[in-house]
Amino acid sequence: MTQLNDAAARSFIKIGSQNRSNPDPPAWLRILEYTHPPLLDRVRTALEYHPWTEGKPNQYFHPVPR
pLDDT in tens, 1-55: 667 788 888 888 888 888 888 888 999 999 999 998 999 998 998 888 888 888 8
What are the boundaries of each domain within the chain? 5-54
What is the predicted pLDDT for the residue at 1?
Answer: 60
Return all residues near 33 (Cβ < 8 A) that are at least 6 apart: none
Q: How far apart are CA 23 and CA 61, in angstroms?
A: 25
Predicted TM-score of the model (pTM): 0.70
